[in-house]
């Protein structure tokens, strides 16, 4: 078995394990719209130098992929609850990326260890000069985490709540314009 095949197999096993440990999938919260972060980053000029991006927790719709394709960015979508195994494997095997996106994902994951594992996965998919962009839905913003549907959950935390989780894994983390941005150094 080649090194690549071994790594892919281990990654598949690790992702299966993550999916099994998450209490709520929140799959039904997927919306057919461009996440707020994308046009905001467009106005900042981010997409001009970006060739590829990975969207972890992309949902079942392709609005973000179509939006970025018009800007010359190849977006790879990964979502264990809303995408096929084939799509997910292709996304994870697509190499390192200039940008990794977590749009409205961390806020629906109840378990801190699962959020941190997802942050580690995002870090592993970044190119050396890449950045992780995080947008969260703050819900009621009262810090009262709760189940919001039969398989849905919301942390209801401000953006700053997630900053310490990121700082454990990234050399540079900043909050700017309602987004968290993390770089390796």
What is the SS3 assignment for 74-91? EEEEECCCCCCHHHHHHH
C-alpha distances in Å from residue 25, one per residue of 120, 129, 139: 19, 31, 17
pLDDT of the chain, 185 residues: tens digit per residue: 677 667 666 666 655 545 557 888 888 888 999 999 999 999 999 999 999 999 999 999 999 999 999 999 999 999 999 999 999 999 999 999 999 999 999 999 999 999 999 999 999 999 999 999 999 999 999 999 999 999 999 999 999 999 999 999 999 999 999 999 999 98
Query: Mind listing the domains of the chain with CATH numbers?
Result: 3-183 (3.40.50.150)
């Amino acid at each position: 078995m080649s090194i690549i095949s071994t790594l892919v197999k281990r990654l598949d096993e690790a992702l299966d394990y993550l999916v099994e440990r998450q209490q709520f999938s929140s799959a039904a919260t997927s919306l057919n719209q461009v996440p707020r972060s994308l046009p905001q980053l467009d106005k900042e000029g981010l997409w001009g130098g970006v060739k590829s991006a990975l969207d972890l927790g992309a949902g079942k719709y392709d609005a973000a992929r179509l939006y970025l394709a018009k800007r010359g960015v190849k977006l790879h979508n990964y979502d264990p609850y809303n995408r096929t195994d084939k799509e997910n494997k292709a996304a994870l095997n697509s190499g390192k990326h200039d940008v990794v996106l977590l749009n409205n994902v961390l806020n629906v994951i109840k378990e801190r260890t699962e959020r941190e594992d997802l942050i580690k996965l995002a870090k592993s998919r970044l190119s050396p000069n890449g950045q992780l962009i995080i947008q969260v839905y703050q819900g009621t913003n009262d810090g009262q985490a709760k189940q919001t549907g039969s398989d849905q959950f919301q942390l209801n935390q401000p953006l700053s709540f997630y900053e310490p989780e990121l700082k454990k894994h990234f050399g540079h983390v900043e909050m700017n314009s309602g987004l968290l941005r993390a770089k390796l150094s």
